[in-house]
Amino acid sequence: MPTTNWTRHHILTLADFTPAEYNIVLQTAASFQEVLSRRTKKVPTLQGQVVANLFFEPSTRTRSSFELAAKRLSADTLNFASATSSMTKGETILDTAKTYLAMGTDIMVIRHREAGVPNAIAEEMDRLGAKVSVLNAGDGQHEHPSQALLDLFTICTLLDPDYPHLELLKGKKIAIVGDILHSRVARSNIWSFTASGAELHLAAPPTLLPKLFADYGKNRPGKLFLHWELEPALRDADFVMTLRLQKERMTAHLLPSLREYHQLFGIARSKLQLCKPNVKVLHPGPVNRGVEISSDLMDDPEFSLIQNQVTSGVAVRMALLYLLGSGKT
């Protein structure tokens, strides 16, 4: 692993991540990506440490990705799912976190359907003087930092597999398309992409992209553009990220129909002709095939980075757990 100057104790948001921090994560993840290509994919880095996955909201891919990352670092893992827990007995979330702290947890990976829960837990842990680190694995519509970091890693390793770093994005055009308003992934992505010299273009129907999103671009190295139609976002884009559309948005009258949404904002091969010739498509998953992206495009390895994203996820989460955990033992 590279010698690092990592000082951040919790990973809750990317709003204040520095370029140096992004680059440490990218390069640490690259080292682990190399470990994962070896015959023996485990390293003893976090042996004896406990990573508790506290998922107050169900999740397949993110929980498994963190669990596997922890196991490949030789940590012990504890899984908590709220459905089978004392939450039904009325215990508060902070009390649950303090219980896992008292058991000896070193890193808490937390997902909750309400924004701010990981922050609240981290503040309480700090107040108690605890050494435990908190990693936000998705809180409401707020942030999902590890997802945005794996997206960044996926793009940067494509541009330079040997030396992925933030500066590779300089001059690139990235489009994020879809239900930005309700997406914690998009918010974290906006922070990471505008931290570089990239041009970031958001595109969605007006109901899913309020004007105030323009504020995210203030005082950021990268430029942020908002569009209420798809074409200007796609024109000459190097990377297009499309977001999952929750079907509940329609019953809330934010959208007319899935079919119309797909026609106007769904990503299909024909629309990619507006982009750079070697454009790549990303999606944080799980995908509604035929809604936000056409099924054939999702499966086309010439365009789709979706599987790369999942693979990157394990390496990036290993990096995050390593950076948070290596100072503890």
> Given the rule CB under 8 A, which residues bind its own copies?
36, 39-42, 47-50, 52, 58-61, 64-65, 67-68, 71-72, 76, 78, 80-81, 83-92, 95-96, 98-104, 244, 247, 285-289, 307-311, 313-314, 329
Q: Report which DSSP code applies to 200.
A: E
CA distance 272 to 234: 7
Q: Which residues of 70-87 are buried (b: 16+ CB within 10 A; e: fewer)?
A: bbbbebbbbebebeeeeb
CB of 116 to its own copies, least distance (A): 20
Closest CA to 173 of 95, 276, 313: 276
Q: Quick one: 161 or 286, whose CB is closer to its own copies?
A: 286
Closest CA to 42 of 85, 75, 15: 75
CB of 270 to its own copies, least distance (A): 23
Decide if 282 contacts 306 (C-beta within 8 A): yes
CB of 314 to its own copies, least distance (A): 5
CA distance 329 to 326: 7
CB of 161 to its own copies, least distance (A): 17
CB proximity list for 89: less than 8 A, separation 6 or greater: none
Which amino acid is residue 97, in one-letter code? Answer: A
CB of 1 to its own copies, least distance (A): 18
CB of 35 to its own copies, least distance (A): 10
Q: Quick one: 43 or 274, whose CB is closer to its own copies?
A: 43
Q: Quick one: 40 or 257, whose CB is closer to its own copies?
A: 40
Q: Quick one: 17 or 32, whose CB is closer to its own copies?
A: 32
Q: Quick one: 63 or 172, whose CB is closer to its own copies?
A: 63
Q: Quick one: 264 or 287, whose CB is closer to its own copies?
A: 287
